């Protein structure tokens, strides 16, 4: 995982419509960059829906929400449509950004060890540095914790 104060790695990935989206597109704005394992799984769906339900709060604080997984553009389109997700979903099937942000890690599930995306969130400051690192977040509380953090900063 990256550390607070370091420059956020730049990237360009396709969104749910196949359009390229770059971190630099949001220079001067705060970005919530959250990484999740897979579209349409129970935890990931709850997390995405919580961000969707809280989206106005993020907009009010001039904060961009971006979800990243290794799913395809087509998978993201279906996921976003099914749950009416108002924020950006980026496809990273080659794991470029997932690895750059250190969230591709060894996971243990029922005694089986495999590599996968560890559900994690970064808050990137308007100057492009990492402001907050949230490793191994819980899908049900992640969005609310971030909004609370933003409000505590008077954002």
Distance between CA atoms of 62 and 46, rounded to whole angstroms?
23
Q: Of residues 44, 68, 85, 147, which has the active-site annotation?
A: 44
In the residue annotation, 44 being an active-site residue is answered as yes
Q: Which residues of 4-38 are buried (b: 16+ CB within 10 A; e: fewer)?
A: eeeebbebebbbbeeeebebeebeeebbbbbbbbe
Question: Annotated catalytic sites, by residue?
Answer: 44
């Amino acid at each position: 995982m990256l550390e607070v104060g370091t420059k956020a790695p730049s990237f360009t990935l396709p969104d749910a419509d196949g359009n390229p989206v770059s971190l630099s597109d949001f220079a001067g704005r705060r970005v919530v960059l959250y990484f999740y394992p897979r579209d349409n799984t129970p935890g990931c769906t709850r997390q995405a829906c919580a961000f969707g339900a809280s989206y106005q709060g993020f907009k009010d604080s001039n904060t961009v929400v971006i979800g990243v997984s290794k799913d395809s553009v087509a998978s993201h389109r279906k996921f976003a449509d099914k749950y009416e997700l108002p924020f950006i979903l980026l496809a990273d099937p080659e794991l470029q950004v997932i690895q750059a942000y250190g969230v591709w890690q060894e996971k243990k599930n029922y005694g089986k060890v495999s590599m996968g995306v560890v559900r994690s969130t970064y808050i990137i400051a308007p100057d492009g540095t990492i402001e907050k690192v949230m490793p191994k977040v819980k899908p049900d509380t992640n969005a609310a914790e971030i909004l609370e953090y933003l409000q505590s900063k008077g954002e």
